[in-house]
């Protein structure tokens, strides 16, 4: 999706002076593949990755040249929604009486709001808490985890809880700082790019790494519902590691070609302005 949208907006640049209905973004055929991907994720069901893909799509659209007011408005809505997530879920629960539901997605939302109400349903999150608390600042030692044998998906979804237990909070913070440095560097390189395609690829990969880590870690520490997504480069799983490594390799290739003279689309007023 990152490569798809980067290519699309490089060929059909966003024109700030043109009204929204007349933008190339409104072409239905351009949105067929992205929405088909989201629909397939929805019916799997894989709501965690569906949300991540949707956020990446929105970020690239905003970075393609949408006005700053709209971008700020979207970020404000996202921040308010995150801050009021639990009250919103509580309100929906009271209106629609979700507590008695057996759907796994609804149960995750209910357990997110009050994990102590049903410890059996919330044992993954609660065991994650125990693992983090047991590790303390410096951990109990690599391979000495007591909670790992009882923690569901300890090698993927909740690998950060196990890492904190074995290596301590200090090592976990160091890992997060290193990941944040990579993300920040991608954004800086994206700002410096003169070609729209390369710029959007940089922003897309940075968003992928950030939102993937944020959703995974947010589920582990209980600030977001558990979604079952992996943590970049840390969780087990060969396909995810290959995908993240390929994404980083692509950005390194773009960074190496940064000094080459760009070829800018005649209608890409944003890129032409940046190049001047």
In this structure, what token pair is assigned to residue 127?
A: 């065991």
- pLDDT given at position 116: 80
Total number of domains in the chain: 1
Residue 45 lies in a domain: yes
- Asked if residue 204 is part of any domain, the answer here is yes
Range of the domain at 11: 2-83+122-265
For residue 25, pLDDT over 60 is answered with: no
Quick: pLDDT tens for 57-97: 889 888 887 777 888 888 888 888 888 888 887 787 777 77
Residues 212, 213, 216, 219, CA torsion sign = negative
Domain-embedded: residue 109: no
Whether residue 105 is contained in a domain is answered as no
pLDDT band at 163, cuts 50/70/90? very high
Q: Is the peptide bond before 45 cis (omega within 30 degrees of 0)?
A: yes
Q: Give the lowest-confidence range in 91-100, 116-125, 147-156, 172-181.
A: 91-100
Nearby residues of 263 by Cβ (< 8 Å), 6 or more positions away: 195
Query: Per the domain annotation, does 100 fall within a domain?
Result: no
- How far is Cα 228 from Cα 210, in angstroms, rounded to an integer? 16
pLDDT digits (tens, 9 = 90+) for 121-149: 788 888 899 999 999 999 999 988 889 98
Is residue 102, in this structure, part of any structural domain at all?
no
Tell me whether residue 92 is in a domain: no
Share of the chain above pLDDT 90, in %: 34
- The Cα 130–Cα 154 span in angstroms is 13
Token pair recorded at residue 71: 């971008």
Residue identified by tokens 């980067």 is 6
For residues 29 and 165, the model is more confident at 165
């Amino acid at each position: 999706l990152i490569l798809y949208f980067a290519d699309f907006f490089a060929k059909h640049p966003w024109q700030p002076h043109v009204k929204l209905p007349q933008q190339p973004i409104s072409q239905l055929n351009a949105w067929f593949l992205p929405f088909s991907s989201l629909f397939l994720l929805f019916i799997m069901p894989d709501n965690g990755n569906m949300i991540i893909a949707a956020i990446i799509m929105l970020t690239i659209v905003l970075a393609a040249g949408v006005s700053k007011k709209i971008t700020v408005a979207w970020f404000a809505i996202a921040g308010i929604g995150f801050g009021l997530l639990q009250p919103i879920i509580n309100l929906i629960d009271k209106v629609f009486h979700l507590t008695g539901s057996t759907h796994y997605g609804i149960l995750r939302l209910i357990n997110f709001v009050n994990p102590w109400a049903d410890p059996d349903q919330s044992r993954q999150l609660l065991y994650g808490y125990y693992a983090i608390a047991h590790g303390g600042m410096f951990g109990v030692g690599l391979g000495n985890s007591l909670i790992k044998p009882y923690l569901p998906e300890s090698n993927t979804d909740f690998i950060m809880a196990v890492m904190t237990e074995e290596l301590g909070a200090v090592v976990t913070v160091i890992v997060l700082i290193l990941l944040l440095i990579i993300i920040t560097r991608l954004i800086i390189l994206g700002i410096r790019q003169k070609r729209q395609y390369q710029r959007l690829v940089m922003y897309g990969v940075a968003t992928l790494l950030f939102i993937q880590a944020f959703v995974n870690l947010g589920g582990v520490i209980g600030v977001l519902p558990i979604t079952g997504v992996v943590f970049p480069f840390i969780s087990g799983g060969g396909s995810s590691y290959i995908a993240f490594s390929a994404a980083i390799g692509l950005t390194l290739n773009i960074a190496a070609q940064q000094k080459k003279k760009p070829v800018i689309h005649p209608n890409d007023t944003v890129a032409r302005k940046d190049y001047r």
